[in-house]
Chain A
Amino acid sequence: MKKGLLIFLFFCPIYLSWMYLPSPIPISWDEDDIIKIKSLSISQLKPLPVDPSNSFSDNEKAAIFGHMLFFDKRLSKNSQISCASCHQPSRMFTDGKKIEEGLGVGIKNTPTIIGISFSPWFYWNGRKDSQWSQALEPLESNHEHGSNRSLVAQLIFEDNTYSNLYNEIFGNSSKNTEVIFSNIGKALAAYQRKLIPGESKFDKYVNEISSSLNNEDKILSYNEKAGLNLFINKGQCINCHNGPLFTNNSFHNTGLLSIPGQLPSLGRVEGLKLARLDPFNCLGKYSNAKKEDCQELTYAGEGDEFIGAHKTPTLRNISLTSPYMHAGQLESIALVIDHYNIAPEAMIGHNEAKPLNLRPIEKKQLEAFLNTLISPLVTEKKWLLGLPKD
């Protein structure tokens, strides 16, 4: 009995230290680690690719027009809702709510739109294949702006500033409502392409590694570095959250529960079906792309593995954009990490993720690393504010 107690007293502190205290061993990176770490740096972000489906994607006047529209509440049925109502600049272009709320309550969480112009797919289920076509849907959605394309077109031509800008950018040859509506989307996209994340604490750390290779920097704490190590190795987060925006912009089923009272979301399976039917898609008549430019839509992946799959979100600014997941199911980063640590069976389809078996201290370290990804925008301040009349 006494012997048993002694063994317990000996091993108990060792076990507790193992579970809850950081390892005393310093962290060093091998060549493979350095490659992975550098691949995540914002310095690796390539120039924003041209959107062939939107001839006005990099037109400065279209961006100015889109900026005005983004903050204009008149684009809603009750003149109370603008794009910025849910995509709030002060919240890294999210709304802080579990589920989107405009004229009514929707069914999905509002994702950030910072850096999203790099994605070939939009919405959690990828039902839109361009930023301009995405921008159209909320205008007509009953629980968002609740307006319609005719009212939007009417507003443009009743407002002298808007009609002048519109004619200057798009010409006045077509009075077709769908053409005007699609051009509104193209202007909104031109504006949103300005929203690009800048350097975070993590990126400064990568710069330090690149400059000295001696790991003597003081930028990240031990726990933050340990979290980075978990992110790129044991935690396997980098598999999906890869590249300088920490997303592969692809679709994965990670075994999330549906929100109470709702059926599980079919995810990408439904999204792709809708994208193919969308008259405003890359192959449609309102797109400026040639058929060969529409590779993402032409070769989109399909099959059972996309059942319940949702788009990988960026992790930049993750600590400022709670709650998380496609329906805001998880309120904190700690809960997200717990979810991946367990990797439960999927309600529908199959969960690609496998249990991570992280110890409590490792979960804390991973969270500490994710908190280093606050990336203030490099966008000029004028684009982040509404217009004086708002």
Chain B
Amino acid sequence: MIKKIIISIFLFSTYASSESIHPVLETVSQNGYIIKIFSEVTPININVIHNWSIDIRDSKDNLIDDLIITVNGGMPLHSHGLPTSPKVVNQSSTGSYKLEGIKFHMAGKWEIVMELKKDNLIDVAKVSFNIR
């Protein structure tokens, strides 16, 4: 149990986050991948399901493909998660991924947390942003 807590603290303290209202959010994962993530619709309207795109590269700008990505998130200040269960699909060999079915049901500060899996290795990244 203690080991689990220590691992969790490590994961959540080492991944980078960015706070921005710009259309493209950029963050660095725990293992150093550079992740660009952006909504396919701008501005983001609350209460509307839409899709985002995710672009993942290593530090040498090589696209990273074949990742299995699961997405979670929510509003930490309000102690709730996302109102939908978005899924990452169209995982092509181009390092570009599509996040489908995301929705935000309140204005305020949101987080999207991505878990990236490849060959039994788990990486984590997070972006934070405001929706007005």
Interface residues of chain A, those whose CB is within 8 Å of chain B, are 32, 35-36, 39, 238-240, 242-243, 248-252, 295-296, 298-303, 305, 350, 352
- Closest B-chain residue to A245, C-beta based? B47
Given contacts A299-B85, A301-B85, contact A242 B79 (CB under 8 A): no
* B49 and A249 within 8 A (CB): no
List chain A residues, Cβ under 8 A from B107. Answer: 36, 39, 238-239, 242
Q: CA of A352 to CA of B86 in the docked complex: distance in angstroms?
A: 21
List chain B residues, Cβ under 8 A from A302. Answer: 85
CB distance from B51 to the nearest CB of A (A): 10
Instruction: Pick the residue among B87, B103, B106 that contacts A242 (CB under 8 A).
Output: B106
List chain A residues, Cβ under 8 A from B3. Answer: none
* B106 and A248 within 8 A (CB): yes
Q: CA of A239 to CA of B104 in the docked complex: distance in angstroms?
A: 11
* A250 and B78 within 8 A (CB): no
Given contacts A242-B46, A249-B47, A250-B105, contact A299 B86 (CB under 8 A): yes
Q: CA of A267 to CA of B82 in the docked complex: distance in angstroms?
A: 17
* B78 and A239 within 8 A (CB): yes
Q: Interface residue count for B (Cβ, 8 Å)?
A: 22
CB distance from B100 to the nearest CB of A (A): 7
- Closest B-chain residue to A118, C-beta based? B47
List chain B residues, Cβ under 8 A from A239. Answer: 78, 106-108
Known: A243-B46, A296-B49. 4 other contacts (CB 8 A): A240-B106, A242-B106, A248-B46, A352-B78
* A352 and B80 within 8 A (CB): yes
* B47 and A242 within 8 A (CB): yes
- Closest A-chain residue to B47, C-beta based? A248
Q: CA of A242 to CA of B107 in the docked complex: distance in angstroms?
A: 9
Residue B84 at the A interface, CB < 8 A? Answer: yes
Q: CA of A243 to CA of B81 in the docked complex: distance in angstroms?
A: 20
List chain B residues, Cβ under 8 A from A305. Answer: 80-81
Given contacts A240-B106, A248-B106, A250-B105, contact A303 B49 (CB under 8 A): no
Residue B117 at the A interface, CB < 8 A? Answer: no
* B49 and A295 within 8 A (CB): yes
CB distance from A337 to the nearest CB of B (A): 19
CB distance from B31 to the nearest CB of A (A): 27
16 contacts between A and B (CB under 8 A): A39-B107, A239-B78, A239-B108, A240-B105, A242-B46, A251-B83, A252-B80, A295-B49, A298-B101, A299-B85, A300-B84, A301-B81, A301-B84, A305-B81, A350-B79, A352-B78
